[in-house]
Every structure is written in C-alpha cells, then in structure tokens.
A and B are shown apart, each in its own frame.
Chain A
Amino acid sequence: MKEAPATGPAPETVLSLHGVTKHFPVRAGGLRRRVEAVVHAVDDITLDVGRGETLGLVGETGSGKSTLARCMMRLVDLTAGTLLLDGEDISKLSARQLRPYRRRMQMIFQDPYGSLNPRRRVGSIIGDPFAIHDVADGAERKRAVQELMELVGLNPEHYNRFPAEFSGGQRQRIGVARALALRPELVVADEPVSALDVSIRAQVINLLADLQDELNLTYVFITHDLSVVRHVSNRVAVMYLGQLVEVAGREDLYARPRHPYTKALQSAIPVPDPDEADRTTRAAILGEPPSPIRPPAGCRFHPRCPKAQSLCVAEEPRLEVKFADAADHVTACHFPLADGEQLPAAGSVAAAAPAAVAAGATDRAEAAP
C-alpha cells in the first residue's frame, strides 16, 4: 500500500482500541421511555491490530463481538474509550468528519442475502464506494468495477445482473469486491463465511487470503467457528460477555490455552475425525451465557467455570501475562490453566441431574403403553 504510513506515530499498529465500551439502554414502554437497564455489550476493551496481520475475534452469541466490530468501524458511537486509526483519534468524530477515514476501513458482512440491495444491479452496488467518495465515474468507474469483479473471481460480464442471479458464495464475493473498492488498509469481516456451505466456504477463505497477500490488507476476522479462526488468524482474541478473556498468537492459544473458557470452547468443537472424537469428551462446561444486562460480578465467566473459587466472585481478573507466557499472550483469569492442564469434568449430562434422569427413566418404563 502506497499511502500507508506517514500519519501515525506507530505505523505498525493500524487500529488501536483503548478501554472501548459500548452500552445500549433498555427503555421502558410508555411515553417517557425511561431507561430501565443497560446492556453491557462491550466493556473496556483494549487491543491493538497490527498492520498486515489477521486478528481473529472469537465468541459465542451475545459475547459482543459484532458490537465490537461496529465500534471498530465507528458505525456506532462509543460509550467510552478511544479508538485510534493510524494513530489518529477517530472515537469522537462526527459522521461527516469520519468520511475520509471510511476509505481506509471497510466491512464485510455475514449475510450475503441481506447485505445486497436486491433491486440494484451488481455493477452499481460494487460501484457505490466510488460514487460516495467521488473518485471515478462513467466508463472509468465501470472499468474499475469490472477489475474488482475479476479480482474476486466474478465474471466481469455479469456487471448488469441482479444479486438474485448469484449464488451465496458469489454474493459474498460481491460483498468483498465492494469492501475492497477503495483499497482500504483494514477490513473487518463479521462472520464472512458462516452462511456458506463447506465446499464454497473454502473458496472464500482462500480468496480472502489471496487478497490479503496481494493488497497488503489487515483483517479483523470475527467468527464463532474456532476451526476457521485457527486457520486464518495470526492472533486470536477470545470474548465472553462483552470482555476479552484471552489474547494470544494462534499457535500459543491452541497449544497453551490459559483461560478455562478458551479451553472449553476448543474442546466443544466437533472434530471431523471419528477416532479423535472417541478419544475426547465434550461438554466441559455447563449452562449458557448469562444476560449482558446484569453480567455476573467478579469474573463474568465464574457461574459456568469449573475452576471458579470465591476470589472469582469477589474480584474481576485483569487481562495480563500469566506464567512465563509470551508478552503478547494475555489472560483474564485468577486461576489460569497450566500447560496441558485439563478442565475438571463438571459437564456430563448425567451429572447435571442424576436423580431426575433416573426417576424419568423408571417412570417412563411404567408409563410406556
């Protein structure tokens, strides 16, 4: 990228988040619309995204990963915290002031159906960024759009088609082309392959990797799928209930997960390997994430954590280096896992309600017609 450095004091960091927080008010019905409660969607996130890297952001439903993406893109106003793009503070800029920065950061969305206007032709959808930023028009714009279509593996002759004429994988390519139109530095991809079938998903993952090499892109790759994140990322950040629980290099995170939640996530992924599946036991943690309206005190993971102790309820752990880990491996846990440590088995279904299960079984036998 030609225009890359020159602005920020730290050219190796593209995006820098400091204490980024986003709360959404929950309003009561009625005339006053009084604020009843606050959803703690994203709470006090500090994180740097380095140039040319792919940062994987993992979390389950309600972990705040998509809200964090929207904060990074400044699609929403931050409740607190600062956001630096190439060293410039963009956390308080108005929509108009933000416009020049928008060229440098773009987003790819999950739903290849919902994110494209069905009544507009693909050529004009991909050409939108040119129109908005007034960079090319007429024949020049058409040529630029067709180059983009070729870049992402679409047939440029399909310029005048409607989104409905494309398959899911092709639509996702349209979304990628639109995001890349203005040659951004940073691309935030929110579940970009989750809606795609397995055989198509690999095509799009490869495409994103090729484009990164070719255009020197920085990715924030958001997904709930740990096997995908493991494949594409250099660094992985794990979120739980609005907070970061662990950030580490890929190898490190998978070889030496420190946070019990990271470990539990890893062991919960079904592996496409029958022998491996027979060797491992699942469901290491019980329950489901609590509501972000009233997050648990102390460590937010403590109600589900098999290692939780009284300290975890009393005190919120800080995100810091544990053991002799690399300086970029940070964990927010009072009792991090040692190398190779397994989670205590708390999660078998039978253990959850042994009496109930047995009672149900006998009753069933009686009740059977």
Chain B
Amino acid sequence: MCGQDEPKLLLEVQDLTVSFPTSDGLVQAVRGVSFAVERGKTLGIVGESGSGKSVATQTVVGLTRGARISGRALFEGRDLLTASRAELQKVRGKKIGMVFQDPLSSLHPYYRVGWQIMEAVRAHDRVPKAQAHRRAVDLLSLVGIPHAAERVDDYPHQFSGGMRQRAMIAMALALDPSLLIADEPTTALDVTVQAQVLELTKHLQDMLGMAIIMITHDLGIIADTADQVMIMYAGKVMETAGRRDVYYRPHHPYTSGLLNSLPQSGHEGERLVPVRGQPPSLIDPPPGCAFWPRCTFAMPKCRTDPPPLRPLPGSDDHASACWLPLELTGRTGDVVEARQRASAAGGGLALSLNVAGGAGSSAGLGGEAAQ
C-alpha cells in the first residue's frame, strides 16, 4: 500500500494553535506550530513539561476535547482538523498508531491482552475472529514477547512493565499504520528495559517502514532515534534541525541551555550550567520571545517582537526562532562570546549578567524575581 510515487511528506502541520478555556483564563498550549513528518523517518519532539509537545500531536489526531483549535494538519493530503469524527476514527489506529507513556493505564485491566489487540484489528478490518487471534499472536511475537501463543491469553497485570509497553506497540502496529506517534514511550520503564524497547522500535521501523513521531524530554533518546528534531518551549517551536545539528550546531539559546544543563561525562563534580528561572505561564505568556526572561542574551527587541522561525544560511532543515545572528551556532566559548557581543550591540545586558559565573542559586533567585 506504500506506493513509490507518493509524496515525501506524510504529515504536514501548519500554524497550529490550541488553547483550553479554564476558570483561570485561556491556556495557550500551542501557539502557531508548523512541522512536517517524512515517510519512514523519525521526527523527535523535545520539550519540558508544558511545552505543548503532547498537546500538539494529540490535537492532530483529534484527542483534545474542548480545545479551541486553528491551523491545518494535512495527513496524506487530508486536513485532520476539519475531518468528521467518523473519518478521524478511520485514520486513528489504521493509519496512525499511538503509544503512550503509561502502559498500565493504556491497557484495560479487565480484558485479556490478546482480546484487546484483536479488538483493535476488528475495529477496522472485518476479519474472522480466528484470523484476528492469529494476528494478535503474530504481533506479540513481532514485538518480542516470548511464548506469544500462550501469553496472548494473559491479562495486563500478568505482564511486566516492559512487556506491557511491547503489547501497546503491538496494538499500535496492528493495522500497519504509516505513522506511529510515541509519546514518552519509555519514560515509565527502567533503563535496561528502555534500551530494549527503543531498540525494538528502531528495528520495527527498519522492517515496516513507518514514520515515527517520538515525543520525549530526554535528549539522549532523541540523539539515538530521531532524523529531524524539533525543540518546543512554551507552546512554540524554538529550533528545528537535523539530529547532528541540534547537538553540535545549536543556534537557539534554549537548545544550548538544555544541552548545557545535562551532566557531561568528563566533567563530573563540576557545577552544571542550568537555565535560570522557570517556564512562563501559558495563560499570560510573555509578548516577545517566550524564552527571553530566562535568556542570558536577551535584547530589548526580544521582549516585544516574537522572533519568527528563520532558516539558517546554507541549510535546508535547520531553522531557529531567535533574533541573534544566524551564523552563531555551537556551544563553544567563542560562540558564547560572539553571542554576548551581538546581544550587547542590540542593547542587551548579556555581558553584565554573564560575568558572575555563579549561575546557580543567584540565577535561581533572579529567575524567581523575574517571574
């Protein structure tokens, strides 16, 4: 079913905004996000809690009830945001499979694992029960469940955490979807089991050729699995780039900030370099760049004018939403200095803020005061 001359882009999301009315005000969870997923490739979406990474993808598949939505989400040429419930139901499961963080609450405790997979199959394909059952066994062995023919009749509580997540993947793959959305699929798992599940996902992608949207807060998982990476913050895309560029040539100060806050091997016991302060409220996000209150390079312009996502010179897949000169990429000391000079030239306070070096508790205080 995957023809040769199909368009390269499987999913194209344009200017998506999602907001939720609450008693405290309108929560602007996603504020003008555009991205595309190529067939057979993995898009990694990285962001901290509240960045809008999950809401954006859930909206695309129609899982955000009660939200105010605008924009377009073209999947195989059809806009999912205007699709009827019946149309969406056909796409979900059959064309787009989903795996969520918590495998225990995603499986129904009352029904046998195999029955739940069969149900997923039979919801879309009118196949005889015996055939669906055989398919469930095949799927379970495909995802590496030993003795699948016996385990297919187990209840979810008889599965371990890793096996439950494998079963979820089996269910998501039941109808050979062209897109798999994996929302923090391994966050609830131990590292050794996480490694197994990630390895399995890559292996299945090689074999079945589906595209994957991998949503995670873990920059290590992204480094291992993604082709293209999108960094989100406060409902916006900060930077998007190929896998290597994100790590070796980041442009946005938030991207560098995230990478700098990770413990690095070879620098044990040294002070980490955190991003000062904390994320803004999405009810009342700052007018200009969402990141400026925490940015050491913030200029007066950043407070008022939201920076658009601008492509970097000489690159077709690297773009950054930051007013700093686009050629300043990387995390080395001279790039930081060049950024500071550029910021100072733009009227910023980067130099005076950054000389203190003690970015720790004093910066924490500064961030809290800025809140």
- Are A and B co-members of a single complex? yes
Tally B residues with Cβ within 8 Å of A.
Answer: 72
* Chain B residues touching A, majority SS: helix
A-B CB pair tally, cutoff 8 Å: 196
Tell whether B26 is near chain A: CB-to-CB under 8 Å: no
Q: Which residues of A contact B142 (CB under 8 A)?
A: 356-357, 360-361, 364
Are B1 and A369 in touch, CB under 8 angstroms?
yes
Tell whether B195 is near chain A: CB-to-CB under 8 Å: yes
Tell whether B23 is near chain A: CB-to-CB under 8 Å: no
* Complex Cα gap A348–B268 (Å): 31
Tell whether B305 is near chain A: CB-to-CB under 8 Å: no
Residues on B lying within 8 angstroms of A by beta carbon are 1, 48-49, 125, 131, 134-135, 138-139, 141-142, 144, 146, 148, 160-163, 176, 190-196, 198-200, 203, 207-208, 217-224, 243-244, 247-248, 257-263, 265, 267-269, 271-276, 278-279, 294, 359-361, 363-365, 368-369
A172, chain B: closest CB distance, angstroms: 11
28 A–B pairs (Cβ distance < 8 Å), ordered by A: A155-B365, A170-B278, A199-B261, A201-B261, A203-B276, A203-B360, A203-B363, A205-B263, A224-B191, A227-B220, A227-B265, A230-B265, A270-B198, A270-B223, A271-B220, A272-B247, A273-B223, A282-B196, A288-B160, A288-B162, A347-B196, A349-B199, A349-B200, A350-B203, A364-B138, A364-B176, A364-B208, A369-B1
Q: Which residues of A contact B265 (CB under 8 A)?
A: 227, 230, 254, 271
Are A198 and B141 in touch, CB under 8 angstroms?
no
Q: A199-B261, A352-B144 are in contact. Are A288 and B272 (CB under 8 A)?
A: no
* Complex Cα gap A357–B268 (Å): 42
Q: Which residues of B contact A264 (CB under 8 A)?
A: 192
Known contacts A273-B247, A368-B176; 6 further A-B pairs (Cβ under 8 A): A155-B368, A227-B262, A277-B220, A353-B144, A356-B148, A357-B144
Q: Which residues of A contact B359 (CB under 8 A)?
A: 206
Are A250 and B268 in touch, CB under 8 angstroms?
yes
Contact with B along A282-295 (1 / 0, CB 8 A): 11111011000000
* Complex Cα gap A350–B142 (Å): 9
Q: A170-B368, A368-B176 are in contact. Are A206 and B220 (CB under 8 A)?
A: no
Are A199 and B368 in touch, CB under 8 angstroms?
no
Q: Which of A199-233 contact B (CB under 8 A)?
A: 199-203, 205-207, 209-210, 224, 226-228, 230-232
Are A210 and B141 in touch, CB under 8 angstroms?
no
Residues on A lying within 8 angstroms of B by beta carbon are 60-61, 152-155, 167-170, 173, 197-203, 205-207, 209-210, 224, 226-228, 230-232, 250-251, 254, 264-265, 267-277, 282-286, 288-289, 347-350, 352-353, 356-357, 359-361, 363-364, 367-369
Are B141 and A353 in touch, CB under 8 angstroms?
yes
Are B262 and A198 in touch, CB under 8 angstroms?
yes
Q: Which residues of A contact B261 (CB under 8 A)?
A: 198-199, 201-202
Q: Which residues of A contact B160 (CB under 8 A)?
A: 288
* Complex Cα gap A246–B162 (Å): 25
- One of B141, B198, B364, B368 near A357 (C-beta < 8 A): B141
Are A61 and B141 in touch, CB under 8 angstroms?
no
Q: Which residues of B contact A206 (CB under 8 A)?
A: 271-272, 274, 359-361
Are B191 and A226 in touch, CB under 8 angstroms?
yes
A60, chain B: closest CB distance, angstroms: 4
* Complex Cα gap A347–B191 (Å): 14
Q: Which residues of B contact A288 (CB under 8 A)?
A: 160-163, 190, 192-193
* Complex Cα gap A276–B146 (Å): 31
B220, chain A: closest CB distance, angstroms: 3
* Complex Cα gap A285–B195 (Å): 9
Are B263 and A230 in touch, CB under 8 angstroms?
yes
Residue in B closest to A154 when the chains form the complex, CB atoms: B368
- One of A197, A200, A250, A269 near B191 (C-beta < 8 A): A269
Are B1 and A360 in touch, CB under 8 angstroms?
no
* Complex Cα gap A198–B272 (Å): 11
Residue in B closest to A200 when the chains form the complex, CB atoms: B278
Are B275 and A199 in touch, CB under 8 angstroms?
yes
Q: A60-B190, A270-B224, A369-B1 are in contact. Are A153 and B365 (CB under 8 A)?
A: yes
* Complex Cα gap A224–B190 (Å): 8
* Complex Cα gap A357–B222 (Å): 26
Q: A61-B161, A270-B224 are in contact. Are A199 and B196 (CB under 8 A)?
A: no
Are B220 and A202 in touch, CB under 8 angstroms?
no
Q: A198-B217, A198-B261 are in contact. Are A271 and B268 (CB under 8 A)?
A: no
Are B274 and A230 in touch, CB under 8 angstroms?
no
Are B268 and A230 in touch, CB under 8 angstroms?
yes
Most chain B CB atoms below 10 A, which of A154, A210, A360: A360
